[in-house]
Amino acid sequence: GSPMPIYCSGRNSSEFCVEVAESLCTEEDGRCSPESCRCEDPTWMRQELQTLNGSQCFTCIPRPTNCAIDGSTCTPGPCECADVTHVKVRVAPSPGDEQATPCFRCQAPTGRNAEASMLASFVLFIVAGLA
């Protein structure tokens, strides 16, 4: 990358000089850092973005929480599927617990049989409609 800037002050602006060793990426919503940077919080991940004029910039975001995949549990609040082939489903709250935080689970999409039976009933409706 480009060399890090040097900032000086004092007599003739050269008495005390500091060289920037590294930059921290911004974590502010809607803002990004134009220079190469690292995340202050090591658990966060650096995200590369493009500005409207096409230049590169960086921001730090918390790593997404992965949703549960075990059929008997669910993850409250926002989460992502670790496996991109899975689908995220909302788990119905327990009776009497309708005020609970929404809870999600990731699961493999239902197999071909579900699609085939849906397609078969769709074709049946068309045939019945023509009769």
CB neighbours (10 Å) of residue 65?
14
- State how far the alpha carbon of 15 is from the alpha carbons of 7, 22, 65, 92, in Å: 10, 22, 49, 67
State residue 85's pLDDT score.
94
Give me the tens of pLDDT residue by residue for the chain, a chain 131 residues long. Answer: 456 667 788 777 777 787 766 789 988 888 889 888 999 999 999 999 988 888 999 999 888 899 999 988 999 988 999 999 999 999 987 777 666 788 999 999 876 544 444 454 444 554 444 54
What DSSP designation does 85 have? T
Cα separation of 72 and 63, whole Å?
24
* Residue 66 contacts residue 104 (beta carbons within 8 Å): no
* Non-local CB neighbours of 40 within 8 Å, separated by 6+ positions: 24, 25, 27, 60
pTM assigned to the model:
0.46
Cα separation of 50 and 57, whole Å?
6
